[in-house]
Structure 1
Amino acid sequence: MDPERLIYPLMKHVVLGPAMRVAFLPRVSGLRHVPPTGPVILAANHLAFLDSFVVPLMVPRRVHFLGKNEYFTGEGVRGRATATFFRSVGAIAVDRSGGRAALDALDTCARVLERGGVFAIHPEGTRSPDGRLYRGRTGVARLAMRTGAPVVPMAIEGTDRIQPRGRAVPRPGRIGLRIGEPMDFRGRDEGTPRGRAAREVTDEIMEAIRKLSDQEYVDAYAPPPDGAS
């Protein structure tokens, strides 16, 4: 067995999960909407770096998510420890240079789902700069239509207050996770141009997230942090 699969329950149930509950007193509602078995896509808003850990640690299934390649390529003891940590909590390395790399990332996500796994994604693609909800990118819709996996919308609350941009270590404070009903998009691209179907499905997912989060919606893509690409 992969040793990182042995580390995962230790990190989730013994180390990080209990620590998160003590530090952030999370309020979670709607866990019944997460299917106990089978493939599922968890689609959440994105307010802070901490979000990538909130969803995997609060959902009672092993959750995979994308992490930038730099987390997995560091040198020395610290680099290897960082890579082991991210893999052990379900992160999958992704090259964010675009083009072929973006397609490879989509294939990687699809393989997780095709094996009956759980994949978490932030459709906005980057953290909100101001707490509003921005237009979603269509990767989430393409995954749902390609694999037939249901999409469970989620709203994360409070992480932007305890870990605002520029703050590496979050301060104690209350966070929340609201989980909506699964959305089924199988067959939505039948008889409809795939690009148009992907846009329509993505907009429906973002509307479900908006209703859960009560955020103001911006019909434009969120700008990358500090003007980075």
Structure 2
Amino acid sequence: MFRILLKALLGLLMRVLFRPRVEGAENIPDSGPVILACNHLTFIDSIFLSLVVKRQVFFVGKNEYVTGRGIKGRLMAWFFGEIGGMVPVDRDGGHGGVAALMTGQRLLEEGKVFGIYPEGTRSPDGRLYRGRTGVARLALMTGAPVVPCATIGTDRVQPSGAGLPRISQVTVRFAEPLRFARYEGMGRDRYVLRAVTDEVMSHVMRLSGQEYVDVYATKAKASASDHRKAA
């Protein structure tokens, strides 16, 4: 009850400050497992999604967000857990992706809403990058529908490297659920996984209006870092 009350209060504050426009929220099923597949512009995307969706949305996040010490560390752990719906996972090393998928599978099998950013990391330049196949694996493993969604304007509210959020309007859009029962039993086929992922990303692109880049965002970030070092 406390979480619901706090979410309502923060939602009111959000509406006053950022005047969010929400489109297609009725496309999110009222019950049962749902995968929200969203673009990823900035750190606060998860907060906006959590506040505009009626059901509680769960995300996988880095352990470091909830392991800080002192009052600040405890406040961050409480905020990300209660409001942001973050489930901490050790994402370092070779097993980080597997741990994230297993966590998502468990939450979906419990009938919850699981938010995922198929790009795998925040966009380095505001464009939409190639999706990783984790969203397809989850959809085919659990049979959960995928609701593509997009946040627009969050990069103006929280630009990279900025401190306090800036006042700017945000739009959050949701498409109709995508179901992939036609691929049942084909979850190990890499061509099927790529086809499902690309279909999801195509809807995200239309919702967000972003330019699409058929490269992984992590590769683009690494390439930009190499150029800076060379310069």
2:144 to 149, 165, 176: 149
- For residues 156 and 68 of structure 2, the distance between their equivalents in structure 1, rounded to whole angstroms, comes to 30
| CA-to-aligned-CA distance 1:119-161 (integer Å, 9 cap, x gap) | 1111111111111110011111111110000000011111112
Amino acid at match of 1:210: M
1:86 aligns to 2:80 (yes or no): yes
Deviation for aligned residue 1:79: 1.6
Say if 1:106 and 1:139, in contact at 8 Å, map to a contact too.
Answer: yes
Q: Deviations over 1:85-108 (max 9, x none)?
A: 211121110212142232122111
After TM superposition, the score normalised by the length of structure 1 is 0.91
Aligned residue pairs total 222
Q: What's the CA shift for 1:77?
A: 2.6
Question: Is residue 2:156 matched to residue 1:161?
Answer: yes
Residues 4-19 of structure 1: pairs in structure 2 closer than 5 A: 6-14=1-9, 16-19=10-13
Corresponding letter in the other structure for 2:183: R
Taking only the aligned residue pairs, the percentage that are identical comes to: 53
Q: Does 1:56 align with 2:70?
A: no
Equivalent of residue 40 in structure 1, options 28, 34, 37:
34
Report the CA distance shift for 1:37/1:205 in structure 2 as closer, same or farther (over 3 A). same
Q: Secondary structure at the match of 2:88?
A: strand
**CA positional deviation for 1:11:** 2.5
Alpha-carbon distance in 2 for matches of 1:98, 1:199: 24
For the residue of structure 2 that corresponds to 1:156, the secondary structure is strand
Q: Distance in 2 between matches of 1:184 and 1:165?
A: 35
| 1:115 equivalent among 106, 110, 115 | 110
Q: Which string of whole-angstrom CA distances, capped at 9 and with x for unpartnered residues, describes residues 33-54 of structure 1?
A: 0001100000111111111111
2:119 is aligned with 1:139 = no
Residue 3 of structure 1 corresponds to none
Structure 1 spans left out of the alignment, 5+ residues: 1-5
Aligned residue type for 1:60? K
Letter in 2 for 1:173: S
Cα-Cα RMSD: 1.8
Unaligned runs of 5+ in 2: 227-231
Paired residue secondary structure (1:97): coil
Offset at residue 195 of structure 1 (A): 2.0
CA distance in 1, matches of 2:187, 2:91: 29
Question: In structure 2, the residue corresponding to 1:84 is in which secondary structure?
Answer: helix
Code of the aligned partner of 2:70: G
